[in-house]
Amino acid sequence: MQKFNTLKSIPAYMPIVNIDTDMIIPKQFLKTIKRTGLGKNLFFEMRYDNDGKEIREFILNNEPFNNSKILIAGNNFGCGSSREHAPWALLDFGITCVISSSYADIFYSNCFKNGILPIILEEEKIKELSEYSNRKEEIFINLNEQKIIYGNNELIFNIDPFKKKCLLEGLDDIALSLEKSKKMDSFEKELKEKKPWIFND
Amino acid sequence: MPNTLYDKIWNDHLVDQQDDGTSLLFVDRHLIHEVTSPQAFEGLRKSSRKVRHPNLTLAVVDHNIPTTDRSKGIDDADSRIQIETLDKNCNEFGVQLFGVNDKRQGIVHIVGPEQGFTQPGTVIVCGDSHTATHGAFGSLAFGIGTSEVEHVLATQTLVQKKAKNFRVNVNGKLAIGVTSKDVILQIIGKIGTAGGTGYVIEYAGSLISDLSVENRMTICNMTIEGGARAGLIQPDQKIFDYLKGRPMSPKNENWDKALKYWKTLKTDFDAKFDKEINLTAEDIVPMVTWGTSPQDVAPIDGKVPNPKNETDIDKRNSIDRSLQYMGLKPDIALKDIKIDTVFIGSCTNGRIEDLREAAQILKNKKKAAHVHAMVVPGSGLVKEQAEQEGLDKIFINSGFEWREPGCSMCLAMNADKLKPEERCASTSNRNFEGRQGRGGRTHLVSPGMAAAAAIAGNLDDVRKYQN
């Protein structure tokens, strides 16, 4: 997984609440057997008209937001389906940080598996940061210091320490878990005695 | 310390716990399907890893599959590749698959319980957010992403942090024509689409115990629409009777041992919940959604809301956006909304009892001429059972199409989709923008309400149509 350290970008602001994963990447693009190539279809229905032409008013179709690495959005971002295609599409587009006041649980955890930092801030701070999108000014994110620097201001955000470590170091979850294989073995041995029906042996 | 059912299942599956609470949880049952698994198997292959316990994993094809005649193969190349890839992966890694031509094929959350793969007290995961369905059996069941699918395949465990406890009590009796679908829509309307975020919900109360196993599944199924990853119900004799003798249920001596354990699966009477709400069943009426979020719900005799009455600006904008997408004017009666399509099916309402409920309303009646109506049974076995009961004839005589099993128009990944601005009364679970097809407009309802809408040609009150 790609490491996340610091990031500087003009954020793109989408003032919509409950952006669901169907909006982020509609189902017709879930037929892929790859993780890559979804960026061009990110927010497909908001981004293209029925003839496949870019819709001018949609923020990500416009300079400089077509190069934004940071997306600011309304609350409950990523609700709905568990599709990891949603963070894959964001990543493939180039977005590696999302800022919202809340996320759906599955989407939130999917971000961390893909090197995307989902930051949770109060609504008031979201509004402040959205001004930088409106003014097309960069903001700066430092994960290690858990800091967002914007203009002459800065704010601290909270993040689970273990998730932070995994992002900073780009750690492979499975390899980490497999280090505990002795514990797994003994758990399973005990399980076979306690609940023999689980393994159907 | 007193514990909730969720606490107990959680504690019973802890392989490891770090000081910060990050835990490694054993997974008893893993369901996979063609859409969210290919990248996971690819990951295993790249890192030369195996599936740790192929016999704890069950694969089905459901999301992508056509619901028309499949004997001549699948036309759509991408769908075909995805389905073939699952076949290939299951072969290579030794996982049991209910493929396209298997009678047991169907929607993953219908197949699991049907086969007895779903069992009380287990941790069940699947790369699909409606995995919560299995919580009806008193299991901890939730949806995961593809990276997590790979993690479970490789380790039979999952990295998790514990959620908080939320109890929803529903007491009393439902009136005729009111179903568990109306109960869960009412709950979502009350708590909101993010109301359960960070929680596991336990459904309790006299109404929940009175519900059939399948009706409980409908409630747990839509838990994710209220933001909670998992919803569960204390298992009881109905659950044990349902599971007895199913192909993958414990047998003989193991059955006795399992049953003894299952009977211990209860929330302690003095357990503490972080959040709790109460509903009275008698207050619940047939519900319908008017907007583009499952929380946009109203009683069938209600009206489309007026954004002007909303003081919160974000909410007002959200209602505005929904009504524009849905092509609805504020303050019109919901019963005046004309529909084009009726879809009966999905992991929410594609089981035999759902089909019986709809058929009961449709018996000796015709759908409105302008309505296109289809029934997609949740599995091959549901289809077979329905045909034995003659339900297929009732649907066909009413003018419905009788299809092959799959997810179908619930998410419209196959050819079953709405056209732009087409309006559908649907027994599925999501009314998101574009969910059933680009520009398509979805009204979520119970199977009986879907049948009533088919007859009337507009949204209507099922209570008028009781046979």
| Per-residue pLDDT of chain B in tens (467 residues, 90 and over written 9) | 999 999 999 999 999 999 999 999 999 999 999 999 999 999 999 999 999 999 999 999 999 999 999 888 899 999 999 999 999 999 999 999 999 999 999 999 999 999 999 999 999 999 999 999 999 999 999 999 999 999 999 999 999 999 999 999 999 999 999 999 999 999 999 999 999 999 999 999 999 999 999 999 999 999 999 999 999 999 999 999 999 999 999 999 999 999 999 999 999 999 999 999 999 999 999 999 999 999 999 999 999 999 999 999 888 999 999 999 999 999 999 999 999 999 999 999 999 999 999 999 999 999 999 999 999 999 999 999 999 999 999 999 999 999 999 999 999 999 999 999 999 999 999 999 999 999 999 999 999 999 999 999 999 999 999 86
Residue A16: count other Cβ atoms within 10 Å of its Cβ. 16
- Asked if B406 and B67 count as a contact pair (C-beta separation under 8 A), the reply is yes
CB contact residues (below 8 A), chain B span 214-273, against chain A: 224, 227-229, 248, 250, 254-255, 257-258, 261
pLDDT greater than 70 at residue A201: no
CB contact residues (below 8 A), chain B span 430-459, against chain A: 430, 432-435, 438
Dist. CA B249–CA B239, nearest whole Å: 12
Nearest chain A residue to B120 by CA distance is A198
Q: Which among B418, B431, B437 is positioned nearest to B373, based on CA atoms? A: B418
Q: Which residues pair with A48 in a beta bridge?
A: A54
Which residues on chain A are in Cβ contact (under 8 Å) with B64?
31
User: Does A162 sit within 8 Å of B22, measured CB to CB?
Assistant: yes
Q: How does pLDDT run across A59-89, given as a tens digit for each residue?
A: 999 999 999 999 999 999 999 999 999 999 9
Give whole-number Cα distances, B358 to A68, B205, B265, B389, B466, in Å. Answer: 49, 26, 34, 13, 10
Q: DSSP code of B406?
A: S
pLDDT of residue A200: 74
**DSSP assignment of A38-75:** -GGGTTHHHHB-TTSPBPTTSGGGSTTGGG-SEEEE-S
Dist. CA A38–CA A19, nearest whole Å: 17
